[in-house]
Amino acid sequence: MNLLDGKKCADSLIAGIAKQVARHVDFGLRKPHMTVVLVGNHAPSESYVKSKVTTCTLSGFESNLIRLPETVTEKELLWLIQQINADASTDGVIVQLPLPKQINAQRVINAIAPEKDIDGFHPTNFGRMALGQKAFRPATAYGICKLLQFYQVPVAGKHCVVIGRSNIVGKPISIMLSNDFDIGNATVTLTHIETPRELLLDETRRADIVIVAVGIPGFVTPDMVKDGVTLIDVGINRLENGKLVGDVDFAAVAPKCEWITPVPGGVGRMTVAALMINTLMAYQNNFELA
Ligand code: GUN
């Protein structure tokens, strides 16, 4: 069993980004700038946002966090996004999800200028990504690709099973790994909550790579995978005792794995690192450096 160490990979990527930023700044340009919008005080979102802001500093970026009350209206949030879109000093913006019930998240995402959409959630970026064109790629999916690349895990020609069809993770990673990208050319099966249990097991038991993003602690058990599998655990679940665990029963499944991501210190770290790559790209696009 080998660990896919997200912290090690992310640290290496961030050091590379910081070097590029230092070169741009030495040349007389301003730093890249990320704006983060956080609505309410959902505990996991607070923690993700904190990590994004801290990593901006480590990358040599400026950042600002705009906090809005849980009761904000969709109209007010859309107005704020228009201001950020028009602000030339911001290269990229993220609106942390989930949003409160009174707000239609897709309408908010659609309002973000595609050239500032570093989450890669806008239909323009998602569509361009799906077509294999240059785009901001959704950060978690992109981070998983970067992690597989860093550890030189073979992907092309492999059978990959994705569990969970969210717009944020399952859908984009299934497209990216099946596309003719540098990390791609896999044969991908996308399974989800409506997949019958027997069919799910048929698929996962013969998969070379399993990616799970369902938000259920211990969902993947040893009987579901074959020996030598590569297991990517996207889950970040807080147990009642305060412990952070993924969607995989790590202690039981790890001995069967060739490669496995830990939680914490796996995909979560890579999501933030990929967001930094996207922000640097937005900045370089602005200054026509790319
Ligand atoms: N909530 C959970 N994951 C994400 C993410 O990647 N981006 C944003 N904006 N919100 C999230």
What whole-number distance in Å separates Cα of residue 139 and Cα of residue 148?
A: 14
The residue to which tokens 């069967």 are assigned: 256
Handedness of CA 161, 163, 169, 175 (dihedral sign): positive
The CATH number that applies at residue 48 is 3.40.50.10860
Residue 18 placed within a domain: no
Per-residue pLDDT of the chain in tens (290 residues, 90 and over written 9)? 999 999 999 999 999 999 999 999 999 999 999 999 999 999 999 999 999 999 999 999 999 999 999 999 999 999 999 999 999 999 999 999 999 999 999 999 999 999 999 999 999 999 999 999 999 999 999 999 999 999 999 999 999 999 999 999 999 999 999 999 889 999 999 999 999 999 999 999 999 999 999 999 999 999 999 999 999 999 999 999 999 999 999 999 999 999 999 999 999 999 999 999 999 999 999 998 86
- CB 247 within 8 Å of CB 233: yes
- Rounded CA separation 101/4 (Å): 36
Residue 209's identity, in one-letter code, is I
- Range of 167's domain? 139-268
The closest-lying atom of ligand 1 relative to the alpha carbon of residue 139 is: 6
Tokens (6 digits) for 128: 């361009």
- Ligand 1 atom 1: residue of nearest CA: 97
Known catalytic membership, residue 119:
yes
**Residue 105 sits in the same domain as residue 151:** no
Do 144 and 248 fall into the same domain?
yes
In sequence order, the β-bridge partners of residue 237 are: 245
Question: Which domain CATH number covers 184?
Answer: 3.40.50.720
Nearest residue CA, atom 8 of ligand 1? 96
Amino acid 152 reads Q
Q: Are residues 230 and 144 in the same domain?
A: yes
- Closest by Cα among 260, 268, 216, 262 to 239: 216
Ligand 1 mean position, distance from CA 202 (Å): 31
3 state SS of 205: helix
Query: pTM (2 decimals)?
Result: 0.97
Whether 117 is in the pocket of ligand 1, judged by its Cβ within 6 Å, is no
| Structural domain total, the chain | 2
